[in-house]
Amino acid sequence: MKKLLLLITSLYFPLSGYAAEHSQASMRIWFDTPNPSVANPVWNGASSLSTCGDGPANLDPNWENYSLPIGNGNIGANIMGSIQTERITFNEKSLWRGGPNTCKNSTHYWDVNKQSASILKEIREAFIQKDIDKATQLTQDHFNGKAAYNADGETPFRFGSFTSAGEFQIKTDIPENNIQHYNRSLSLDSALATVEFTHQDIHYQRNYFISYPDNVMVIRFSASEKRKQNLTFTYSPNPLSSGSFKKDGKNGISYIARLNDNQMQYAVRIKVLTQGGKVENTKDKLIITAADEVTFLITADTDYFMNFTPDYKNPKTYVGVNPIQTTQQWMEQAARQSYSQLFQKHYADYSSLFKRNTLSINPQYTSQEVLDLSIPKRLERYRTGAPDYDLETLYYQFGRYLLIASSRPGNLPANLQGIWHNNIDGPWRVDYHNNINIQMNYWPACPTNLAECEKPLIDFIRTLVKPGEVTARSYFNARGWTASISSNIFGFTSPLRDKNMTWNFSPVAGPWLATHVWNYYDYTRDLDFLKQTGYELIKSSAQFAVDYLWKKPDGTYTAAPSTSPEHGPIDEGATFSHAVIREILLDAIEASKILETDETERKQWEKVLSHLAPYRIGRYGQLMEWSTDIDDPNDDHRHVNHLFGLHPGHTLSPITIPQLARAARVVLEHRGDGATGWSMGWKLNQWARLQDGNRAYTLFGNLLKNGTNDNLWDSHPPFQIDGNFGGTAGITEMLLQSHMGFIQLLPALPAVWHEGSFTGVRARGNFSIDMKWKDNNLTQAVVHSGSGGVCHLYYKGEKLSFNTESGKSYIITYTKGKLTLNP
């Protein structure tokens, strides 16, 4: 069926060279059955809106499982691919409820931190007296915050939530029955979604993409015969907003509105361009009759302004953009271009990122018969144990696609669902979760050659610094800054009101975020970035870490009080907190040496680091999670926080500290190979760091089988995008690692990946690596040096070091057990 469909497509829509690749089976996510048409948007239909959002809630199963996501980092959409009425959910990433403008007096928004630093002495004295109940109670009473986490918890709702911009519906005159050759696909090569089908011997095609250069969504309806486009375009806005529709020229409509709670202004513009036919503009609908071809252009913006130095007295401190003007400019610019011109710019921009990296595993193994199956059928087959290495590489590249689509410079970072959301509220506010989720979103950025996509995270961290300084002083009388478990786009860094400290208390969330700043530098070696932006973020985070620590009577520094996020009791020194602090102190020390600054402070960091409570091994041979040996070998909890030093940190390694690595392995054995989607993604990375390729592959397989929806989205459940990013990062860790000061080639290659190659995988030190292997042995590696310096390679116990020059490439072969640098 697929071959016939592509043949029909080529007859009516010949593809030029740059677009032809979207038909490649290996880089397509596709379905062979349409989604059902519905009369109303999701919040008016059977799947009603969710105001709680702390779990699966009332989510549209078709949206979660069968839609195709497209985006440009700023606006995002989901293509449902229905026949009679196409549904497209639509988002603008800065459209958030809550914030200072929610409150009549903006100081109320910022009054969320408790003044609890004075309680620390009493808590630590309770630990000395072994009165854990008292320490726990004091922490619960004083180290939560004042703001609620859901709209039912307080008025006004300060924290807010990411909210949908609405839904588009395009009604056609085509009935649901008698549809043949249906195909709904997403090309990862070109970031182009396509819906194709045949009805009464007429072939219909719809193309969808969202351009980063033009900041516009483009939808084209066409057919193999003329005058077949009879369409009615309607827009259902967010129901928690107030606005009005207006005619925007002869063929356009605009919707200018404000969210009801915080008065955030947003604008959505739609314009239709036709070949032939007639357009009727009724102000809130565009009705097209008997057109040959129809192109819709859509853009949106809000008045949100990313502010690094917020004015706490100004309720509009995050207001600074005129969305009416920006959307008008974008629309005018887009409307002057043809569909082909818009697509070419989009493709040139997108492919310049996506094509930097390739991966091939067991080429030619997957049969054409399997490639001809839709993705749901291939997943069903994979779940039975049938191998599909092409599906595995598709999943890898899908993670890269999602990152490009949801995180581009100049925009906010990817949130819990990237940029895709279909309701006014959603799971966990669709916020920025700082106890692994947002961090996991960016694990694949630099290693898979998408460093630019991490810039939104760096900017977001900068928005947390000034409010985070207040939080650091209020709770710990500490210098520097930190953040807590949940953040929004309005500088929220406090813990929330809930007294459940297992999830609501994570003082080192800020330092964990700051490790990404060093990580970005370590991969890019952008010295100007380190000087101008990165170092101060790292330094002030290290200052917080030092001040937060408790110097016990025996001279040991511990994190008291602390927790292992979402798991276990209040503790006087949770392993997770110490591992994060080790990481940020090591980063700060190294950064200060590079910049030759802050020598006195560096000595303090080194002193504290040398007296930080060490990793300890418990009675089961496990790496202990808490300061006392209370681990349960039957505990299969999804969080494995105490292995932070193994991954994403670098203070545990089977090469440098094998005894602790074995203890980490015991933990992973106890926790098992199943979990929620994102958790399997994390454990995949940890098994890779333990250099057990076969066990890492087991976790990857379980992630695909048990934690992946039919559109390849990760499932917690519900849909949570971090598992996709964790999976892509984990595959990279299986093939290349560079966190221990050298580049290790194929450190966790599973036995079943006996042949393969990759290009454009990045290593720390600003190196890019291409590699081939066969019969489970390295055959050739090419090292491309971006900044010069010494390159240290490691493979199967063999070491090779050589000087490099910036811009030059070096070929390495492995023969007869030796790594050889070729002239």
pLDDT (0 to 100) of residue 104? 87
pLDDT (0 to 100) of residue 38? 77
Cα–Cα–Cα angle for 566, 571, 574, rounded to 5 degrees:
70
State phi, psi for 243 to the nearest 5 degrees: -160, -170
Among candidate residues 693, 605, 689, the one with its CA nearest the CA of residue 652: 689
Give CA–CA dist 793/776, Å, rounded.
18
User: Mean pLDDT by 10-residue block, N- to C-terminus, for the chain (823 residues)?
Assistant: 33 35 66 86 44 48 95 98 97 98 94 98 98 98 97 96 97 94 98 98 98 98 98 96 96 98 98 98 97 98 98 97 98 98 98 98 94 97 97 98 98 97 93 97 98 98 98 98 98 97 96 98 98 98 98 97 96 98 98 98 98 98 98 96 98 96 98 96 98 98 98 96 98 98 98 98 98 98 98 97 98 96 92
Please give the helix or strand (H or E) that residue 255 lies within, else none. strand 252-259
Using the 8-state DSSP alphabet, how is residue 393 labeled?
H
Distance set, CA 507 to CA 484, 544, 662 (Å): 6, 10, 28
Domains defined for the chain, CATH in brackets = 2-98+160-354 (2.70.98.50), 620-736 (no CATH), 741-823 (2.60.40.1180)
Give, to the nearest 10 degrees, the angle between helix 339-354 and helix 389-406. 110
Give CA–CA dist 820/800, Å, rounded.
8
What residues pair up with 745 in beta bridges, in sequence order?
Answer: 736
| C-beta separation of 318 from 290 below 8 A | no
Among candidate residues 416, 432, 513, 510, the one with its CA nearest the CA of residue 722: 416
Give CA–CA dist 258/240, Å, rounded.
9
pLDDT (0 to 100) of residue 42? 60
pLDDT (0 to 100) of residue 823? 84
